Amino acid sequence: MGNLLDIELKQETLSAPTPTKEAPVFLSGAQAMMECLLAESVDNIFGYPGGAIMPTYDALYDYIDRIKHTLVRHEQGAGHAAQGYARVSGRTGVCLVTSGPGGTNLITPIADAIIDCTPLVCIVGQVKSTLLGTDAFQETDMIGVTTPVCKWNYQITDPDEVPEIMAKAFFIAKSGKPGPVVIDFARDAQAAKMTKPFVYKKVEKMVSYSPRVVPKQDQIEKAAELINKAKRPYILFGHGVLIADAVQELLDFVEKTDIPCASTLLGLSAMPNNHPNYMGWLGMHGMYSPNVMTDECDVLIAIGMRFDDRVTGDSTKFVKQARIVHIEIDPSEVDKIKKAEAPVIGDAKEALKMLMPLVKKGDFTGWKNEFRKLDVKEYDKVTLRDLSQEGKIKMAEVVALLSDKTNGEACIVVDVGQHQMVTARYYQFKKPNSYIASGGLGTMGFAIPASFGAKVGAPDREIVGIIGDGCFQMTIQELGTIAQSGLAVKMIILNNNFLGMVRQWQQLFFDNRYSFVELQNPDFITIAKGFGIDGHTCNERENLSDSLDKMLASKKAYLLEVIVEKEENVFPMVPAGTSVSEIRLE
């Protein structure tokens, strides 16, 4: 027995640290992640903790003075909030969620962000790398699941990878055609220490990814030639103008050439609504003249847009008489839907700058008047009816009144459906980045989280969410986030007790067979108050103005519910799959 004791003592002396110089202590993977966020000037993130992301949340605890974290109520809310943040501020939105359900709840915002080109970096926890592929608790193959819907994804299993991968992630998310990047962060890589000092080098180019920003001169010259020869040129601009921050360049270009222009849904607010060359927006529920005149132009100048089917209707019949100049950063979008005679691959801002000296000064008064003539028809048939002030309150009058009261300067976050289209029609935008909508994916439930995300991204702006009663209930839990973070978000529910857009289609195309579109709604105001958010309901037209004033005057978050006409339809309308010429005004 004595022997045994000897041995133990001996071992103890052996394992005692040798008194040489101290081994350097490096950052853990999670700490490195925080340093990466700081290096990318990220000061706000949206997230929800959970098992596999706990080491990162633990590291975040030491950084809360520099990185503000908004705790959402559901991961989908984190994603849409990051989108709202990114869209209003032009920065990259960051979300932090856990593995398994945390990650899968984020899929909808990721799919939304890829189709609407929103830069996101989604950091998703993952089980320990030793457990990968074993159906471990809360393990989901996030790489497999997100591959079809994200711009890039990567699984980090070694803390040493963190700086390099995050630098790539931020570069990929923001550059070229922006999009969501998913970082699948294994729990052991979060917890383990790096084996070398943390060094962060921003990525500005990659061998396998180098989007062209400055267009080729010969493409610009060809485009300019086509534009200069045009007798009836027409500009369609899209979200790309806002993403490229090319608002001023577009304005200069339009003012020099005097070409009439129209916006896509997501291009809204890139051009002030009251500009004499701005003809409105086009698309399925867009305005009459911008839609119809696509059949009359001889040269179409498409800037930062991708000929979505909601813009073109039947694409084989869309602008088939015109020659097309297509300014687009993503080469795979050129010729995808419409063949472009003069494609310009590059950033909208750079392209417009380069085109400026090559295009002639123009005067298209006569051509512009043709648009204006059609506007009269739309005004008589649609606008007058929408703003008639007869019967129940109509969505249009709420939006028009809000537009007046905010002087067209608020940032409007909309959900998906009739209210989204009505807002696009009746809000008179004056400032860029003021119409935040889920355009491509059409995600109901987008607006509540996106509006507080937008408020975080632009705290000085008035943010008003305009939301349908159906949409509101899809992410209603995020009222808790708004209350807890004290964000002064204003929300208007346009309540018609219906899934209005689906109901409209059922009425027009399915023979009035209202299949599951009527809602039994809760008392929204009581719910809001339960969350600690003040609000009231407006049922009568004579109270509408005061109601909006009360909401706008509130220094805190506020919910205004407006009971609107139950069975109102949105016109004009280009029925799906038909050509723009078949647009209906009633």
Partner 1 sequence: MTTYTICVFTENSIGLLNKITIIFTRRRINIESLTVSETERKGISRFTIVIKHEKREEVEKLVRQIRKIIEVLAVFGYLNEDIVYNEIALFKISTPLNGKSVDVETINKVYKAWVVYWGLDYVVIEKTGTETEIFEFFKYIKPHGIIEFVRSGRVAVGKTPKGLIEYLPEEITEWEYYL
From residue 491, give the alpha-carbon distance in Å to each of 193, 395, 524: 45, 14, 11
CB of 572 to partner 1, least distance (A): 31
Region near partner 1 per CB under 8 A, out of 128-136, 141-149, 232-240, 424-432: 141-149
- Closer CB to partner 1, 173 or 424, in the complex: 173
User: Does 315 help bind partner 1 (rule: CB under 8 A)?
Assistant: no
Is residue 313 within 8 A of residue 284, CB to CB? The reply is yes
CB of 181 to partner 1, least distance (A): 9
H or E element at residue 491: strand 490-495
Coil/strand/helix, residue 120: strand
- Closer CB to partner 1, 151 or 187, in the complex: 151
User: Does 207 help bind partner 1 (rule: CB under 8 A)?
Assistant: yes
CB of 326 to partner 1, least distance (A): 14
CB of 143 to partner 1, least distance (A): 6
DSSP 3-state percent helix, strand, coil across the chain (nearest 5): 45, 15, 40
Q: Which of 272, 331, 362, 575 binds partner 1 (CB under 8 A)?
A: 331
Classify residue 357 as exposed, middle or buried by CB count within 10 Å of its CB (0-12, 13-18, 19+).
exposed
Considering only CA atoms, which of 7, 8, 85 is closest in space to residue 46? 85
User: Does 147 help bind partner 1 (rule: CB under 8 A)?
Assistant: yes
CB of 225 to partner 1, least distance (A): 23
CB of 144 to partner 1, least distance (A): 7
What distance in Å separates the CA atoms of residue 500 and residue 250, rounded to the nearest whole number? 35
Q: Which of 209, 315, 477, 536 binds partner 1 (CB under 8 A)?
A: 209
Alpha carbon distance, N-terminus to C-terminus of the chain: 100
- Closer CB to partner 1, 172 or 268, in the complex: 172
What distance in Å separates the CA atoms of residue 367 and residue 288, rounded to the nearest whole number? 16
CB of 172 to partner 1, least distance (A): 6
Q: Cβ neighbours of residue 159 under 8 Å, at least 6 residues apart?
A: 27, 28, 29, 32, 189, 190, 192, 193, 194, 195
CB of 584 to partner 1, least distance (A): 32
DSSP state of 494: E
Region near partner 1 per CB under 8 A, out of 68-76, 152-160, 311-319, 363-371: 152-160
User: Does 203 help bind partner 1 (rule: CB under 8 A)?
Assistant: no
User: Does 172 help bind partner 1 (rule: CB under 8 A)?
Assistant: yes
Q: Which of 68, 128, 193, 212 binds partner 1 (CB under 8 A)?
A: 212
Would you give the binding string for partner 1 spanning residues 460-499, x where CB under 8 A is met? Answer: ----------------------------------------
Is residue 355 within 8 A of residue 301, CB to CB? The reply is no
DSSP state of 573: B
Question: Which residues make up the interface to partner 1 (CB under 8 A)?
Answer: 143-144, 147-148, 151-153, 155, 172, 205-210, 212, 330-332, 335-336
